[in-house]
Amino acid sequence: MTPRERWLAVLCGERPDRVPTDYWATGEVTERLLRELECADQRALWKKLGVDKSVHVGAALRDPRPHRAHKTVWGVEKTSIAYGGGIGVYQETASHPLAKAESAEDVLAHEWPDPAWWDTSGVRKACESWRDNPRIGGTYEPFLLYCSLRGMERAFEDLVVNPEVAETALRKIYEIHEDIIRRTLEAAGDLIDFIYVAEDLGSQDSLLMSPASFRRFIKPRMAKMIQLVHGYGVKAFHHDDGAIRALLPELIEIGIDVLNPIQWRCKGMEREGLARDFGDRVAFHGAVDNQETLPFGTEADVAREVVENIELFAPRRGYICAPCHNLQPNTPTANILALYRTVHEYGAPPAKRTVRPSPAGRAS
């Protein structure tokens, strides 16, 4: 089977020839693997690792305004911040263009991008160039963007003390994304497999906002976006960090098809409970822990966890094995190789397996 066929089998409730995989990593990790595994490019790397990589094939941004150094199309200024003693760099927000907004009028006065700047004419060709891979055709993650525009502290305060500002901005963000995603699906809906409909609603121990705030500010438009996506026969890939178990019934109710990243070390996100309570209604993506197991565990620890995930999630709606966030630079190459090797050794249906887990849990 091709990578795309494996993913689509999972989404149709069928059993592929083995558990599909995906690859998420920082640029530093990818560069290291290209060098150490002697791969000419990322396609070669995915092939060598045996990864069923999902690829982004969305509309191309054509911002007609003069070059604005370090600013996104939304007017958010970015800067590079090193972490871990310099082992890696992330782009972080340096300024918030809506920080001083006090009213709906202030929000609407912001220089919002025109959705027509996103050109969908090349989407179909991009899909065809990735014929064998699952394809993601766009991204909608509204509150994360609002935090960048407003500043995280003020964004959360707005949900309580200035809801008009939050409501106006989130409505504007939705309208722009709806236009872009609708045109993308019109251009190549039959070739697109997923739209990334996401939000980060959880911390390590609890929700970041109350269920009431979720229902007022996030859920209605998320449901509307998923309805749009499903109308074109496309699936909703839902990324949602942290301890979000309390909201999972409502997220499934509005139609998410794939749940990522399964940060099972967060409170209430134990894998056994997720598989038992939600495994027949949603496919799981991720779940290989990169808080402890991948960066600090042994190869045997990684292999054991992959086997556990396969046994818990694959027999239900289905499972796509991947790290539960970007592989970080402190993750040993040997552990990355162990992740994908174990899927190939143990990820086939039981009757087709040639490798069984050892008593210690490591595939051997």
Q: How many residues does the chain have?
A: 364
Question: Which string of b and e fits 73-94 if b means at least 16 CB within 10 Å?
Answer: bbbbebeeeeeeeeebeeeebe
User: Alpha carbon of 241 to those of 144, 201, 263, 265, 360: distances in Å?
Assistant: 12, 6, 7, 11, 30
Q: Give the start-to-end residue ranges of the domains of the chain.
A: 3-64+118-352
**According to the model, what pLDDT value does residue 103 have?**
98
Closest by Cα among 107, 241, 206 to 163: 107
Task: Specify whether the CB–CB gap between 201 and 209 falls below 8 A.
Answer: yes
Q: Can you tell me the mean pLDDT for 119-136?
A: 97
Q: Would you give the DSSP letter of residue 185?
A: H
Report whether 287 contacts 309 (CB < 8 A).
yes
- 240: which DSSP letter? -
Q: Provide the pairing of β-strand 118-119 with 88-95.
A: unpaired
Q: Give me the pLDDT at residue 114, please.
A: 98
pLDDT at 361 over 60: no
* Alpha carbon distance 146, 141 (integer Å): 9
DSSP 12-50: TT---SS--B---B-HHHHHHHHHHTT-SSHHHHHHHHT
Indicate whether 362 pLDDT > 50: no
pLDDT at 363: 38
* pLDDT > 90? residue 356: no
| pLDDT tens-digit map of 294-328 | 999 999 999 999 999 999 999 999 999 999 999 99
Helix H or strand E encompassing 125: helix 123-129
pLDDT for residue 4? 98
**Helix, coil or strand: residue 5:** helix
* Residue 138: count of CB within 10 angstroms of its CB: 26
pLDDT of residue 360: 38
Is the pLDDT reported for residue 250 higher than 80?
yes
Max Cα distance, the chain (Å)? 64
- DSSP assignment, residue 113? P
| Helix count and strand count (H, E) for the chain | 15, 11
313 within 8 A of 279, measured Cβ to Cβ: yes
Tens-digit pLDDT profile for residues 175-205: 999 999 999 999 997 899 999 999 999 999 9
Determine how many CB atoms are found less than 10 A away from the CB of residue 101.
22
- In this prediction, residue 359 has a pLDDT band, given cuts at 50, 70 and 90, of very low
3-64+118-352 belongs to CATH 3.20.20.210: yes
- Distance (Å, whole) CA 204 – CA 269: 10
